[in-house]
Structure formats: structure tokens, C-alpha cells
Structure 1
Amino acid sequence: MSADTGSYEPPDRDVTAVEPSAVMRAQRPAGTAPCVAAAAEGLPFEDRSFDAVMAFSTVHHWQDPIAGLREMRRVAKRVVVFTHDAGDTGWRHHFRLTRDYLPEVAGLVAGRPSVDRPAGVIGARLEPVLTPWDCADGFFEAHWRRPEAYLDDHVRRAVSVWTRVGAEAEQRAVNKLREDLSSSRWVERNPGLAGFDAAESGLRLLVA
């Protein structure tokens, strides 16, 4: 679901990708899975057409997440969704980037329901996902122990949060972070952080 350019598609499975954006579909490399132009809320497939359906960090972009999840449940025998629990506000106090540099993120998730509701709609169990310190993925929380990565424009462009907070907030956060890393203030404000191997960032798996 919302497959983008195909980064999360397993090469050893028979995969059908779904991507609503023509821009993203055009950027899919040769050799990736066939891609259907559709949105999660209206999937052009028969009931239980697939063994499994997966959505990675995309539900918050859907116009109607509940409808999209119901469609996923309809077309597949198993549903796996990687998402963020907006109802768990504690992560904002633990994730240093949002706490000290980018408080605007709180406004992006304000009003979103807890994942308990969508999980209940499709009968899913919730599993917390800890983010390892050396996470190879580039999602927003991935560099929690490697803050210098957020200074890289390529890293930021791969994450929609930076675009959504706006250029002014982004530049302010980057400048302040750069100053704190150069002056060692980051280390002073976050003593012992290097001793943690994984972090709780409000990430969850919904499995049904």
C-alpha cells in the first residue's frame, strides 16, 4: 500500500504494488513489482485476493484511514501496518529532535486518534516497535542517537515531516541543532544517550 518507489517490496515474493501518486509511480526503477494506480480507500481487487498486505508509515497520509484499513482487511488474509501512535504523547518528550528543536511536529499529529481505534476496526493486535540506534532505514525517528544525520538535506528530503512543518521551522531547527552539536551542548543536554541500544518512539505494528 502506498508503495512509493518500491523500497519495501520483498524481492522473493510475488508482489502487487499500490501507489496513488503518478509522480511516485514514474520514479519506480525497472524491475520493481507491477504497480496499480489506486488509493487505499478503494482497492480494485476481489475479496481475499492476497495472502498479505503491508503498509509502511503511510496511514497518516490517507484521507480516510479507517476506510483504507477496512479495504486492506477485505482484500487480504493478513494485514501488517507500521505506523505511529499519535495518542501516545510521551514519545515527544523522549525524542530529542521534536522536544528541543522541532516542536511543530506536535501540531501535525494533534487530533489524530490513538491506534487503538483502527486496530479495533480490523481486529488487529498492537506490537510496540523499538528503533535500534543504528537503524538503517531513513524514517523520521531513525537517527535518534545520530543527530548529525538530520543536518543532511538528503536525509530530510526523504521524510515528509520536514516539508510539512515548513521551510522556516526546518531551517531554524537545523541551525540550532548544528550549533548544539558543534558546541557539545547536545551531549550536555542528553547525558547517557549513547548508552541506549534502542528507543521507544511511539512506533507500532498493527497485525491482523
Structure 2
Amino acid sequence: MINVGAGTGSYEPPQTVLAVEPSSVMIAQRPAGSVPALQASAESIPLADDSADATMALLTVHHWTDLEAGIGELLRIARRRVVIFTWDQTILRRFWLVDEYLPEVAAFDDTRAVAIDRLIALLGGARTETAPIPHDCSDGFAAAFWRRPEAYLDPEVREGISMLAQTGEEALRPGLARLSDELSSGLWHQRHADLLNRETLDIGYRLVIADL
């Protein structure tokens, strides 16, 4: 398994043999004992055809400058399978944080989200699987804190979520102030009482899997 657009290595399974990541900063933050990391972009991976049984790309395709080239590289170096973890923007738009407090974030993500159908077409066919997010998810991606709303008030948490960090604190400030007030008053908990006992939630995250 080759992890393309690997970042700091979140969710690398034991079968991973190599990470591909363009940022030297991200590579430097990979934990000790991680698999070797090759500094390269997804659009141009200096590896031979059929280099591994599978390639994966986790929450990264929306960052690529040339999606077609990147998907072509995933297909070129994989012998058996390509797995992409991404999100369905039409579903994520209904997430309470975006829908009720930060519509500016939805507008920003509309400009970069990759449609599932487009990925399937570029892969030459694929199946999709829903990826429900557990309430105590240890990673800090956008909707990971769906049952822990106070986390979104933490600047360090927001800094690690690209859709918030790139929207900018000034644009987020009014919505976050309203979220803070409604958490203090208990209004958020009243409105979202149905979430408080749920273990997982479908917020639009999807696995797109192409068997070659």
C-alpha cells in the first residue's frame, strides 16, 4: 500500500510500505517509526508502474492542482486497488456547524470539493461506501467533533481543519461567537439532543474504491 498525499500519516494501515507527500513540513511531523516518505506530488510520482498492490489517498484530492493527473498516477502505480477517502459536499453542507453557524465555510468548500461522480469517472468505475464518523474520533478533520461542539471554539483545533483555517478567523468570528453563546445557554444541546447519545454519524464522508 502506498499512501499518496500522506500528510503526517493519519490512518496509515500496517500494510503501508511508502508515503508520498509534497510538504517537507508534513514529512517532518510524521511520527517516529512511520514508513519512509517520498517527497513528491500526487500528480508526478517517481515510481515505476505497478509499484504496489494498492494506493490510497485520504482527505487529499481536494488539495491537488491537477486532479486528472493525480488519479492517473494512483492508477498507474497500483496493481489491484485504489482507495480514496473524501466527502460528499451536498451532505456535508447540512452538517450543523456549517448550516447553522459557518455558511462561509460551505461557500469556500464549494470551490474545492470534488464530486464523487467525478472521481468514479476518472477511476473508470468504482464503488462507494459510507464512512460514519465515531463521536470520539481521534483525528481532527472537519466534522470529527460533531458531538463535541466546544472543540470548534479552540483556535488550535481550528488551525488543524483546513476548511476553517483557510476561510479565516475574521469570517468565522460572528458564527463562532453565536455558537459559544448557544453552548453556554444550552440552546445548542436542546436543538441537537438527538446527537448526544449517538455513537456514529454519517456526515458525508465516503470511501471510493476501484478494483483494478
TM-score over 0.5 for the alignment?
yes
Aligned to 2:121: 120
Matched pairs, number: 204
SS of aligned partner of 1:39: coil
Partner residue, 1:92? 93
Q: 1:27 to 1:169 in 2, by over 3 A?
A: same
What are structure 1's unaligned runs of at least 5 residues?
none
Which of residues 38, 42, 65 is equivalent to 1:36? 38
Where 1:142 maps in the other structure, the secondary structure is coil
DSSP 3-state at the match of 2:204: strand
Secondary structure in structure 1 of the residue aligned to 2:151: helix
- Which residue of structure 2 aligns with residue 8 of structure 1? 11
The 2-side partners of 1:107 and 1:143 are apart by: 20
Distance 1:179 1:105, change over 3 A: same
Report the more deviating stretch, 151-160 or 95-104: 151-160
Across the aligned residues of Structure 1 and Structure 2, the Cα RMSD in angstroms comes to: 1.8
The separation in 2 between residues aligned to 1:204 and 1:185, in whole angstroms, is 31
Is the 8 Å Cα contact of residues 9 and 15 (structure 1) preserved in structure 2?
no
**Residues in 1 aligned to 2:110 and 2:153: alpha-carbon distance in whole angstroms:** 26
The TM-score with structure 1 as length reference comes to 0.89
Question: Counterpart of 2:69 in 1: which secondary structure?
Answer: helix
Identity of aligned residues (%): 48
Residue identity matched to 1:2: G
Q: Which runs of 5+ in 2 are unaligned?
A: none
Contact 1:56/1:83 (8 A) holds in 2: yes
1:149-175 residue CA offsets vs partner (Å, 9 max, x unmatched) = 212222222211111111112333322
Residues 136 and 26 (structure 1 numbering): CA distance in 2 closer, same or farther, change over 3 Å?
closer
